[in-house]
Amino acid sequence: MLDREVIERIAAELAEADRAKTVIPRITARYPDATVEDSYAIQGVWRDGMLAGGRRLVGRKIGLTSKAMQQATGITEPDYGVMFDDTVWENGSTIPFDDFSNVRIEVELAFVLKAPLEGPSCSLFDVLRATEYVTPALEVLNSHIELEGRTIVDTISDNAAYGGMVLGGNPVRPDQVDLRWVSALLYRNETIEETGVAAGVLNHPATGVAWLANKLHEHGARLEAGEIILAGSFTRPMWVSRGDSVLCDYGPMGTITCRFA
């Protein structure tokens, strides 16, 4: 594993890149022996620094849970990151493009918990019992590490490339619909770019939340009541430029819109 001094230095680099809206060289290009555990240690130091600075944790994101995303990134195992209160946007928001180093959009479902979830043997059914409601969500990806050649270690260190989320549509209780069959049409500037079905996330999006609860148990943590959990994208990421408008149509579960200015 990397020395603690190196882990803290990389976390500081990422914090500065977040402040300056820039990217840093790949961690794995500089430290080719860095492990997944190193990357979660870097993320943890960065997270603790953000919390010490006054940001408030509101949930977690899960990434790389679908074949679409794994093929788009070349990374074949899921990852997770944290979400802070100042990264949540309402449906219809105008989002400052300059808040990010780069912008891509993913289509997801968000689970809002009414009870804690803890591993090591959390199941899909445990997730459904612990969920208050499920709502459409768009994730804004934002990388602080150069994208070309990036590995799972780079992505996890960079808070799983999380930048923000937009919540909207029509929330449902988890027993109201078959969540596997939730589908979405993603548009940029009135042109359809991506489509997907939520079963693309590990055959059921709640399976991603169960994976996260079990993974957090390995790191001595759990999911708490009230947390928002982004279960993973079931479309490829869509690049967004300044001035673009985004609309995602979830059919009976409603729509989400936002614009980047």
Quick one: pLDDT at residue 166?
Answer: 98
The average pLDDT across 129-151 equals 96
For residue 48, which amino acid is it? D
The set of residues, in sequence order, having a beta carbon less than 8 Å from that of 18 and lying 6+ positions away, is 144
Whether 36 is covered by a domain: the verdict is no
Predicted confidence (pLDDT) per residue in 71-118, tens digit: 666 666 789 999 999 999 999 999 999 999 999 999 999 999 999 999
Whether 40 is covered by a domain: the verdict is no
Quick one: pLDDT at residue 93?
Answer: 98
Whether 236 is covered by a domain: the verdict is yes
Burial class of residue 171 in the structure, from the number of CB atoms within 10 Å of its CB (0-12 exposed, 13-18 middle, 19+ buried): middle
pLDDT at 68 over 80: no
Query: Is beta strand 162-167 parallel, antiparallel or unpaired with respect to 88-90?
Result: parallel
What's 71's domain CATH number? Answer: 3.90.850.10
Whether 159 is covered by a domain: the verdict is yes
Query: Is beta strand 255-260 parallel, antiparallel or unpaired with respect to 245-249?
Result: antiparallel
Structural domain of 234: 57-260
Quick one: pLDDT at residue 131?
Answer: 98
Q: For residue 107, what are the CA distances in angstroms to 17, 31, 212, 230, 254?
A: 26, 33, 18, 10, 13
SS3 110: strand
Whether 144 is covered by a domain: the verdict is yes
The set of residues, in sequence order, having a beta carbon less than 8 Å from that of 67 and lying 6+ positions away, is 200
Predicted confidence (pLDDT) per residue in 41-66, tens digit: 999 999 999 999 999 999 999 987 76
Quick one: pLDDT at residue 197?
Answer: 97
pLDDT at 69 over 70: no
Whether 19 is covered by a domain: the verdict is no
Q: How far apart (Å, rounded) are the C-alpha atoms in residues 70 and 257?
A: 26
Sign of CA dihedral 94, 98, 99, 101: positive
Quick one: pLDDT at residue 18?
Answer: 95
* pLDDT bucket at 244, cuts 50 / 70 / 90: very high
Q: What is the 3-state secondary structure (H, E, C) of 193-249?
A: EEEEEHHHECCCHHHHHHHHHHHHHHCCCCECCCCEEECCCCCCCEECCCCCEEEEE
Whether 17 is covered by a domain: the verdict is no
Domain count, the chain: 1
Q: How far apart (Å, rounded) are the C-alpha atoms in residues 214 and 26?
A: 28
Whether 223 is covered by a domain: the verdict is yes
